[in-house]
Amino acid sequence: MTQPTPSQPAICDYEGSTYRADFWEGKGRDYEDAVERLILRRFLPRGGKRYADFGAGFGRLINEAAGFEEVVVMDYSRTMLQDAQARLGRSDRFIYVAADLYKLPFAANAFEAGLLCRVVHHLADAPAALRQIRNGMAAGSTFVLEFANKLNLKAMLRYAFRRQAWSPYSREPLEFVRLNFDFHPAYIREALRSAGFTPRRRAAASWLRLGLFKKVLPLRLMVSLDRLLQPLGGMLPYAPQIFVENRIEGAPTALVERDQLFKCPITGAPLHREGDVLLSTEGNPRWAIRDGIYDLKEPLS
Ligand X SMILES: C[S@@+](CC[C@H](N)C(=O)[O-])C[C@H]1O[C@@H](n2cnc3c(N)ncnc32)[C@H](O)[C@@H]1O
Residues lying near ligand X in the complex (CB under 6 A): 11-12, 14, 19, 55-57, 60-61, 75-77, 80, 100-102, 117-119, 122
Distance CA 45, CA 115 (A): 11
- Nearest distance from C-beta of residue 189 to ligand X, angstroms: 21
Nearer to ligand X, 61 or 137 (CB): 61
Nearer to ligand X, 58 or 238 (CB): 58
Minimal distance, residue 122 CB to ligand X, in Å: 4
Question: What's the length of the chain?
Answer: 301
Which residue, 56 or 95, has its beta carbon nearer to ligand X? Answer: 56
Q: Which is nearer to ligand X, 117 or 264 (CB)?
A: 117
Q: Based on CB atoms, which residue is closest to ligand X, 131 or 169?
A: 131
For every residue of 76-91, which 3-state class applies, written as one string? Answer: CCHHHHHHHHHHHCCC
Q: Which residue number, 76 or 207, has a Cβ lying nearer to ligand X?
A: 76
- In this structure, are strands 94-98 and 277-280 parallel, antiparallel, or unpaired? unpaired
Backbone angles phi, psi at 278, to 5 degrees: -105, 135
Cβ proximity to ligand X, 11 vs 271, nearer residue: 11
Which CB, 48 or 114, lies closer to ligand X? 114
What string of DSSP letters covers 215-236? Answer: HHS-HHHHHHHHHHHGGGGGT-
Q: How many helices (H) and strands (E) does the chain have?
A: 8, 13
CB of 169 to ligand X, least distance (A): 26
Distance in Å, CB of 159 to ligand X, minimum: 26
Please name every residue paired with 182 in a beta bridge, in sequence order, or none if there are none.
Answer: 174
Q: How far apart are CA 147 and CA 139, in angstroms?
A: 23
In angstroms, give the least distance from the CB of 124 to ligand X. 9
Which residue is nearest to ligand X, using beta carbons? 57
DSSP 149: B
CA–CA distance, 81 with 293 (Å, rounded to integer)? 8
Distance of closest approach, residue 172 Cβ to ligand X, in angstroms: 20
DSSP 167-222: -TTS-S-EEEETTEEEB-HHHHHHHHHHHT-EEEEEEEE-TT--HHHHHHS-HHHH
d(CA 55, CA 171): 25
> Least distance in Å: CB of 113 to ligand X?
15
Distance CA 129, CA 118 (A): 14
State in angstroms the smallest separation of the CB of 13 from ligand X.
7
